[in-house]
Amino acid sequence: MTSAVQELLSLLQLERLEDNLFRGQSRDIGTRYVFGGQVLGQALSAAQQTVDASRAAHSLHAYFLRAGDIEHPIIYSVERTRDGGSFSMRRVTAIQHGQPIFNFSASFQVAENGIEHQLPMPSVPAPGDLNPAAPLPAEVYDKLPAKLQRWFGNDGPFEFRHVYPRDELNPPKRPPFQHVWFRLAERAPDNPALQRALLAYSSDFHLIGTTMLPHGVSFLQSNVQVASLDHAMWFHRPFRVDQWLLYSCDSPTAQGARGLARGTIYSEDGRLVASTTQEGLVRVRAERGQD
């Protein structure tokens, strides 16, 4: 197993301090602050450890309150809000330096049979027909700050294959949607709770970026400020994160320095396994010298 995958799995296996209190470490993936997907995955991991294994998470809703400090651990306090006959509810507060940085709620359900339908998967090339992302030219990569080198490195825990590749250093304007195949780079344990935490982690990639596509701006630009404000996710059907999944994202609107993005996640055989929504802060300031 690669060091990046093992590190991610370790991040999601929290240290239990008390019955409802957990501690998680952070991983620097090249972002200025703690990656939002890390807090999502760790909060879900904490909540799952307080629920009977017969109940699986089917939805989560979260707000990002403050930027997370990569250099310090995060404490997760779980409130056992309700355990009913079929559903359980948990609330989680992530705390750093004595202040809440993240609020999270998740609902869990006993497996049941019922009516079933889904929208079809978009018609896109299969992951095997797409090339992996090309590395940046050495003369460009070597000039990037150390954090961005880490972000653009090819040794992360996930593989991504974009149906419509985009140059974040020179972004063109294009319609607000994208399709990205992704999978964990190594096989993960056969643990459905861990698989859901891994999918929550990976679901934070690409959403806010979709809101910027029509405007030809990138999070790499010095006059652009981007941050996750909230995140919601629904788990529909079984999946494995170490098998190819298609993330189909679109952004119906951006206004008031906020952009809204939606995502649907499909297995390679076309099953809709999860859905997401996220609103993000997207501030574009005028460059110096411009009116």
As annotated, the active-site residues are: 204, 228, 278
Residue 207 phi, psi dihedral angles, 5° rounding: -65, -60
Contact (CB, 8 A) for 27 and 9: no
CA angle 131, 132, 136 (to 5 degrees): 115
Strands of 14-54 (E only): list them.
15-18, 21-24
Between CA 248 and CA 240 the distance in angstroms is: 17
Tell which phi-psi region holds residue 20, choosing left (phi > 0), alpha (psi between -120 and 50) or beta: alpha
Between CA 265 and CA 144 the distance in angstroms is: 32
The CA-based dihedral angle spanning residues 139, 222, 283, 167, taken in that order and rounded to the nearest 10 degrees = -10
SS3 for 46?
A: helix
- Taking the mean position of all CA atoms in its chain, how far away is CA 183? 13
Structure tokens given for 66:
């403050």
